[in-house]
């Protein structure tokens, strides 16, 4: 049997904007690069594991990026099978709407778990045959998208209902796959979920899980798979060091804490239905992501000095100007913080995404501190103002600020 080669990528988030800056240029560069790799690698299948779009209602620029990519690869790799699944960011209906057209190009889309009218899982829609260069079926892809709570059958037992329900869905799909899979055909499963033991990134993903209770044990999603293609986590990784269970990760950093990732695609080779090799290819980054300081926060003067020495350069291309996040330790009110930072970077070709103030006194909620110590009626407004200032900046308000507060308080009838 001929070798079979699958390329796995994920979490494109087409249509993403970073604090107002569109990412279309980076996505377009990535998709062009991917098209070249698919042709060069003579890939037989491409699997994209969810969050194709960043939003339920993606901008037209994002949908045209996807369609242009599909048209481009079908010209160069007419035999390529493409599987797209829906992620939690995707609208299943929007993703599946062009399915009748995309089918003609060998593109299979599963936006949401398909149920038949009789209440049974429509496994014909979920199971996608993938063919080798001779047109023979070399693998079956169980294209399981992001599972919403309504997709999960109630199962008896001690397991968390979300885990038991997921196990049940994958079990049904695996059963249907085993019924049609012949010897020496590989079993590939997809998922858009968090698997136990995987490393999350700080900003984009932490809020998805509360206490990790829905992180799934690996055996719940594909006990019989030769390769498990996962999406949802933006950090590329193999789960538990197993090269057969991989998050491909996102192709570009979607938040500042993802700037150190080495974004990649995964190339999985199969021989006689068994995974023989995996290889990852680093995706070139065309836009730098800077942070001042590199970690934590620094006093304003230090930050302004560092910003003055920045030499952002986009090769004259506005879409290639580096992104910049700034974090300032704030020890007193700085009403013109933004203007001062903007003035400091005015001479360099960077895109300022965000200024994060770190308050020297901590960011605790004053109300919760007061509530435990004082009666509300016993509080004097000026005293509360002083406490707030001390708490936020770790200093006493100076006379100018106190005068301003008193005249405001007088105006308010206090
Ligand atoms: Mn996701």
**Alpha-carbon span 364 to 387, nearest angstrom:** 12
Model pLDDT for residues 286-320, shown as the tens digit of each residue: 999 999 999 999 999 999 999 988 876 667 788 99
Q: What percent of the chain has pLDDT over 70?
A: 90
Cα 386 to ligand 1 centroid, rounded to whole Å: 44
Average pLDDT of span 203-207 = 49
Quick one: 268 and 334 in the same domain? Answer: no
Q: What does the pLDDT look like over 231-240, one tens digit per residue?
A: 999 999 999 8
Q: What is the mean pLDDT of residues 265-280?
A: 96
CATH number at residue 248: 3.60.21.10
| CATH number of domain containing 321 | 3.30.160
Residue length of the chain: 414
Shared-domain flag, residues 310 and 390: no
Percentage of residues of the chain with pLDDT beyond 90: 68
Q: How far is the CA of 11 from the centre of ligand 1 (A)?
A: 7
Q: Supply the pLDDT for residue 7.
A: 98
- Region 331-344: what's the mean pLDDT? 90
State the pLDDT at residue 363.
Answer: 60
Q: What pLDDT sits at residue 370?
A: 65
Range of the domain at 320: 289-359
Q: Tell me which of 226, 249, 282 is where a domain ends.
A: 282
| Ligand 1 centroid – CA 141 distance (Å) | 20
Rounded distance from Cα 258 to ligand 1 centre (Å): 15
Whole-number Å distance between alpha carbons of 190 and 206: 22
Question: At residue 206, does pLDDT exceed 60?
Answer: no
Q: Are residues 344 and 385 in the same domain?
A: no
Dist. CA 209 → ligand 1 center (Å): 12
Q: How far is the CA of 13 from the centre of ligand 1 (A)?
A: 9
Q: How far is the CA of 42 from the centre of ligand 1 (A)?
A: 28
Centre of ligand 1 from the C-alpha of residue 226, in Å: 23
Tens digits of per-residue pLDDT, 357-408?
988 776 666 666 666 566 666 778 888 888 888 877 878 888 888 888 888 8
Q: How far is Cα 304 from Cα 402, in angstroms, rounded to an integer?
A: 28
Is 193 found in the same domain as 50? yes
CA of 403 to the centre of ligand 1 (A): 51
Our count of domains for the chain comes to 3
Mean pLDDT (the chain) is 90
Judge whether residue 93 has pLDDT over 60.
yes
Average pLDDT score over residue span 87-93? 96
Tell me, in angstroms, the distance from the centre of ligand 1 to residue 90's CA. 8
pLDDT of residue 348: 86
Q: Does residue 334 share a domain with residue 278?
A: no
- Average of pLDDT values for 34-50? 98
CA of 384 relative to ligand 1 center, distance in Å: 43
Give me the mean pLDDT over the 264-281 stretch.
Answer: 96
Q: How far is the CA of 228 from the centre of ligand 1 (A)?
A: 16
Q: Tokens for 121, please give them.
A: 């899982």
Do 62 and 174 belong together in one domain?
Answer: yes
For residue 210, pLDDT beyond 50: no
Same-domain pairing of 157 and 201 = yes
Q: Do 100 and 21 lie in a common domain?
A: yes
Spacing, Cα 230 to ligand 1 middle (Å): 10
Same domain, 17 and 43: yes
Find all residues with CB under 8 Å of 370, minimum gap 6, and list them: 376, 379, 384, 387
Q: Within this chain, do residues 144 and 257 fall inside the same structural domain, yes or no?
A: yes
- Are 254 and 147 within one domain? yes
pLDDT of residue 380: 81
Q: How far is the CA of 36 from the centre of ligand 1 (A)?
A: 26
313 Cα–ligand 1 center, Å: 32
Q: Which of 230, 248, 282 is the last residue of a domain?
A: 282
Last residue of a domain, one of 242, 257, 282: 282
How far is Cα 111 from Cα 284, in angstroms, rounded to an integer? 29
- How distant, in Å, are the alpha carbons of 79, 386, 414 from that of 411? 75, 19, 7
**How many whole angstroms from 87 Cα to the centroid of ligand 1?**
5
One domain, residues 53 and 108:
yes
pLDDT tens-digit readout, 317-327:
889 999 999 99
Please check the confidence at residue 204 and state whether its pLDDT lies above 60. Answer: no
């Amino acid at each position: 049997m001929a070798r079979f080669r699958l390329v796995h990528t994920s979490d494109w988030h087409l249509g993403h904007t970073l604090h107002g800056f569109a990412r279309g240029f980076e996505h377009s560069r990535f998709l062009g690069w991917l098209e070249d790799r698919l042709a060069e690698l003579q890939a037989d299948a491409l699997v994209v594991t969810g969050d194709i779009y960043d939003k339920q209602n993606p901008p037209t620029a994002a949908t045209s990026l996807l369609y242009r990519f599909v048209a481009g690869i079908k010209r160069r790799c007419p035999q390529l099978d493409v599987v797209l699944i829906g992620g939690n960011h995707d609208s299943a209906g929007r993703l599946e709407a062009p399915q009748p057209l995309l089918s003609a190009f060998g593109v299979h889309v599963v936006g949401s778990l398909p149920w038949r009218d009789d209440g049974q899982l429509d496994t014909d829609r979920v199971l996608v045959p993938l063919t080798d260069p001779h047109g023979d079926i070399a693998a079956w892809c169980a294209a399981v998208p992001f599972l919403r709570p309504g997709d999960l059958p109630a199962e008896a037992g001690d397991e968390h209902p979300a885990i038991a329900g997921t196990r049940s869905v994958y079990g049904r799909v695996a059963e249907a796959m085993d019924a049609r899979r012949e010897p020496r055909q590989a079993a590939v499963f997809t998922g858009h979920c968090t698997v136990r033991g995987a490393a999350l990134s700080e900003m984009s993903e932490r809020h998805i899980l509360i206490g990790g209770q829905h992180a799934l044990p690996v055996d719940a999603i594909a006990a019989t798979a030769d390769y498990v293609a996962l999406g949802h986590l933006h950090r590329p990784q193999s789960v538990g060091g197993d090269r057969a269970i991989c998050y491909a990760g996102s192709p570009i950093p979607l938040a500042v804490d993802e700037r150190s990732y080495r974004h990649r695609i995964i190339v999985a080779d199969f021989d006689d239905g068994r995974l023989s090799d995996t290889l990852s290819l680093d995706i070139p980054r065309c836009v730098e992501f800077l942070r001042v300081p590199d970690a934590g926060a620094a006093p304003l003067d230090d930050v302004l000095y560092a910003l003055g020495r920045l030499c952002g350069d986009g090769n004259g291309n506005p879409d290639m100007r580096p992104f910049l996040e700034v974090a300032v330790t704030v020890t007193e009110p700085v009403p013109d913080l933004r203007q001062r930072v903007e003035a400091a970077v005015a001479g360099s070709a960077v895109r300022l995404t965000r200024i994060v103030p770190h308050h020297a006194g901590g960011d605790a909620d004053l109300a919760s501190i007061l509530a435990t110590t004082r009666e509300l009626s016993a509080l004097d407004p000026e005293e509360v103002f002083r406490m707030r200032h001390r708490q936020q900046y770790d200093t006493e308000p100076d006379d100018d600020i106190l005068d301003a507060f008193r005249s405001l308080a007088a105006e308010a009838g206090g």
